[in-house]
Every structure is written in structure tokens, then in C-alpha cells.
Amino acid sequence: MKRSRQTLVAIAWVSAWGCASEAVPVDSPPPRAAIVAPKRVAATPSSGCSDDEAARPARQVLRGSASFYANSLAGNPTASGVPYDPGVLSAAHRTLPFGTRVRVTRTDADVPPVCVTVNDRGPYAGRRRIIDLSRLAAERLKMVGKGVVPVRVDVM
């Protein structure tokens, strides 16, 4: 009886070892969405919104405060891996997927909205801040002097 138990244990061990040493195909992880760098825009008074984006109704509307990146962060990598460029219309949001286009409208001033691409995570300065904007987007919203302004964010 003792010998047959040892034999069974040895067979089980060899079987397990043999299975573990075989090359077992592993399901590959789902492909990651391509990280697209926001396009560099000439410093013109345009909003960065295409005609389609300007007319499109929002899928989701968020309200809160917006701030903007310091110039000293230029060249540092964003959470998406794209270096921060103050001359592009980009933004940071805590949860929206990278590449999401949003239309940001100042609610305390009569300024045309600006459309930006989410390519970073943040802001982390407080729960009321819902979006961090690039320097160009902040200039287009005329918020550089104030620093933090109330906004409406339309997710497209």
C-alpha cells in the first residue's frame, strides 16, 4: 500500500512537472488604444473645434473649475506617454479615456469654447477642479490671469 501511494505521488508530480514545462499559449492582453498626440495648432483665435464638434451634442456634461499647466512642465511626459507641449490644445482629466475630445466653455465670461484632447491624468489640486488645460487652451479661454475659472465640459 505504501509503495503504491509513493508511486501515485511520483506520477502526479511528474505529470504536473510535464504540464508546467510545456509551452502553453497564453491569451494575449487586449490591445491598448493607440495613443494619439494632440495636433499642434497655430496660435490663431480659432477654438480648435471642427464644425462637426461645434454642432455635436454632448454625451456627458461636467461642471466645475479648470486650471492650466505651468510652463515649467513643458517636455515632461504625460500619463499617456506624450510629452506635454504648451502649444497644443490638450488637457488632463481624472477618468476620461486618453484621446477623448471635450469642449470646454467658461461659464463666468463671454469667451468662445475651446476643444481639447485628453492626454493626461489630473487635476489633483482639489475635487472641484475637473480639468487641467494646456497653456494654449488657457490663453484661448482668457484664463491665464485668473488661474482657476468655472467651466462646463462637454464630452463629445
| pLDDT tens track for 41-96 | 444 446 788 888 888 889 999 999 999 999 899 999 999 999 999 999 999 999 99
pLDDT, position 38: 56
State the maximum Cα–Cα separation within the chain, in Å, rounded to a whole number.
90
Identify whether 19 is part of a domain: no
pTM for the model stands at: 0.70
pLDDT, position 3: 56
Q: Quick one: average pLDDT of 129-139?
A: 96
Are the C-beta atoms of 120 and 78 separated by less than 8 Å? yes
- Domain with 84, as residue range(s), is 51-155
Identify whether 29 is part of a domain: no
Whether the predicted pLDDT of 37 surpasses 60: no
Reading the block at residue 61, the C-alpha cell is 456634461
Q: At 87, which CATH number?
A: 2.40.40.10
